[in-house]
Amino acid sequence: MNSMTPNCPLPLADHPKVLMAHGSGGRMSAQLIDKLFRTAFDNPDLDTLHDGAILTLPQYLQQPLLQSLPQQQRIAMTTDSFVVNPLFFPGGDIGCLAVNGTVNDLAMCGARPLYLSVGFILEEGLAMQTLWRIVQSMRTAADIANVHIVTGDTKVVERGHGDGMYINTTGIGVLEHEQAIGPTQVHAGDAVLLSGDIGRHGMAVMAQRENLSFDSHLKSDCAPLAEVVLALLKAEIDIHCLRDATRGGLAAVLNEIALASGLQIDCEESAIVVNDDVRSACEILGIDPLHVANEGCFVALINPTDQVRALNIMQQYNTQAALIGSVQKTASALVTLGTAIGGKRILDLPTGELLPRIC
């Protein structure tokens, strides 16, 4: 890691300004995080490159407070900002997304989500009724996910300086086990499980935002994932890594895990469920469903001896859960995909913003 320098470590000549692609979860997002943020904030807790930070409580706080928990008490902390446009979309809205997104990041750390903070950035002129609907939606989502919204902040910006509203949520959860979960824990031979079908959230939002009149029932998969993760932990499944497949889709999370673990992940395309509405929309627009965002779907990399038990548990929460691949020890940290006709290809990170193809 470079020490702090006054010069920006990103190649300025290439991108002197922030582009939409820097926020899309693809290669340019990864470069921004790696070259700019990690360089600036360098510390061991940040370097795990997980969905949240797992922090060990200082010794003097541990024993008297939480007797029932494991010896070394650890908490998980994460934060996420939500800028989705439109504010309401089929299957959800920015409010439930802001709750579930942070709940899910905590769950991916193997934590039980407990508390959320919420920061609102509201645009002057936003209808109070809209704000009320979104706040109600957040309350419902928090109740379902069993978390409490315990602190918050509100700022209002001038009309034209925000898209109606932006929300930031920060979450704290507690680890009730002693497993180490994260991309660096992944081993060769691990089974790769996917918790459900993919692509619904991204395509539902895109169809709504762009007024695409698909004759379909595209609905976001926005949902909390903590319950199924806690069930896996309770059953003592040997979990090595969990990741929810949000921005950049399944392709991005598998690549991030491959890169962080230095191992190759081989998947079978036919095992990955994509429902017909999503496939149709993706075919029309020339978008790969593996690059499309999800908000209620995760991958679990686990000890293969537990794969049958784990899959049984995951299928109790979503019948579409499936074993999609395995981890291999090879010279290159790639993700490969066995294709429907028996071929093989590399599954790469999405390059940037998902742009519909010309033909």
Interface residue list for other proteins (CB under 8 A): 14-15, 17-21, 27-28, 210, 212, 270, 276, 279-280, 283, 285-286, 334, 336, 339-346, 348, 351-353, 355-359
Q: CA 263, CA 336: separation in Å to the nearest integer? A: 11
Counting every residue, how long is the chain?
359
- Comparing CB distances to other proteins, the nearer of 75 and 258 is 258
Q: CA 285, CA 359: separation in Å to the nearest integer? A: 8
- Comparing CB distances to other proteins, the nearer of 89 and 298 is 89
- Comparing CB distances to other proteins, the nearer of 141 and 267 is 267
- Comparing CB distances to other proteins, the nearer of 231 and 259 is 259
Question: How far apart are CB 249 and other proteins at their closest, in Å?
Answer: 14
Question: How far apart are CB 343 and other proteins at their closest, in Å?
Answer: 2
Per residue, the 3-state secondary structure of 337-358, as one string, reads EECCCCCEEECCCCCCCCCCCC
DSSP reduced 3-state for 268 = strand
Q: What angle do CA 83, 89, 94 make, to 5 degrees?
A: 35
- Comparing CB distances to other proteins, the nearer of 124 and 283 is 283
DSSP reduced 3-state for 174 = strand
DSSP reduced 3-state for 251 = helix
Question: How far apart are CB 355 and other proteins at their closest, in Å?
Answer: 3
Closest CA to 242 of 324, 309, 180: 180
Question: How far apart are CB 257 and other proteins at their closest, in Å?
Answer: 19
- Comparing CB distances to other proteins, the nearer of 287 and 314 is 287
Listed in sequence order, the DSSP H helices in 5-127 are: 27-31, 38-41, 59-65, 94-108
Question: How far apart are CB 268 and other proteins at their closest, in Å?
Answer: 11
Question: How far apart are CB 149 and other proteins at their closest, in Å?
Answer: 34
Q: CA 120, CA 190: separation in Å to the nearest integer? A: 41
Q: Which residues contact 41 (CB under 8 A, 6 or more apart)?
A: none
Q: CA 229, CA 105: separation in Å to the nearest integer? A: 11
- Comparing CB distances to other proteins, the nearer of 27 and 139 is 27
- Comparing CB distances to other proteins, the nearer of 45 and 210 is 210
Q: Where are the beta strands (DSSP E) in 176-230?
A: 191-194
Question: How far apart are CB 222 and other proteins at their closest, in Å?
Answer: 24
SS3 content of the chain, % helix, strand, coil (to 5): 35, 25, 40
Max alpha carbon distance in the chain (Å)?
65
Question: How far apart are CB 192 and other proteins at their closest, in Å?
Answer: 18
Q: CA 28, CA 23: separation in Å to the nearest integer? A: 8
